[in-house]
Amino acid sequence: MGWFGRKNDDTTSTANGTATATLPAPAGLPAVPGYLAGTWTIDASHSEVSFTVRHMAVSKVRGRLGAVSGELVTAEDPTRSTVTATVDVTSLTTFNEQRDAHVHGADFFDVATHPSATFVSTALTHDGEEFRLTGDLTLKGVTRPVTLTLEVSGFGPDAYGGTRAGFSAKGRIDRRDFGISFDAKLDNGGLVVADKVDLELDVEAVLNA
């Protein structure tokens, strides 16, 4: 039997294509029930990036970027899997029209000049029961390495005869690393907008034909 409870070299055919179960995994690799190797297209209508940043040192502002596109390749050895994704930064909303106008401007994301952000994975590792996805994030024209904690939500059939996979990820970036240097301060010296930004990603992908 293989790592995921299937016989080695077992092949699964779907309406959207053929995916192959992986061979036994390296020792200590987290198990992913139903794992399928294949090439997947991100479903933009069911994927999003959200963020949280501390405001005035006492509360948090939350925002969402809904337009996500890209491709994932799940390899027979999961640690060789890859992802490339593009996020439409013009879709960013903090659910406040006046604040959104400021955030879209040059003080923050400057979406007129940099309308999109990209992520290209460079490594997928594991630490006990967790996967860690590292890649190059390009935001506001600046590229920096970022590591995300990755959760594989599952693999399975959809309602249309295809096959889908779900993933969630979390991470933290420093906005100043990407040239977002808005520096307004409170009377006590604290920042109006904190430097650290927490990211959350929910991605649904469809197996290619």
For residue 98, pLDDT beyond 80: yes
Give the contacts of 123 (CB within 8 A, at least 6 positions apart).
Answer: 133, 134, 135
For residue 29, pLDDT beyond 70: no
Q: What is the pTM of this model?
A: 0.84
Task: Say what the pLDDT of residue 9 is.
Answer: 41
Task: Say what the pLDDT of residue 15 is.
Answer: 45
Q: Provide the pairing of β-strand 130-139 with 142-157.
A: antiparallel
> What stretch of H or E contains 101?
helix 97-104
Task: Say what the pLDDT of residue 19 is.
Answer: 52
Q: Which residue has the higher pLDDT, 118 or 181?
A: 118
CATH topology of domain 11-20+35-207: Lipocalin (2.40.128)
What pairs with residue 53 in β-bridges?
61, 197
Cβ atoms within 10 A of the Cβ of 162, count? 15
Among 2, 71, 3, 84, residue whose Cα is nearest residue 38: 71
In this structure, are residues 202 and 44 in contact, taking their beta carbons and an 8 Å threshold?
no
Task: Say what the pLDDT of residue 185 is.
Answer: 73
Q: What is the Cα–Cα distance from 105 to 112, expressed in whole angstroms? A: 8
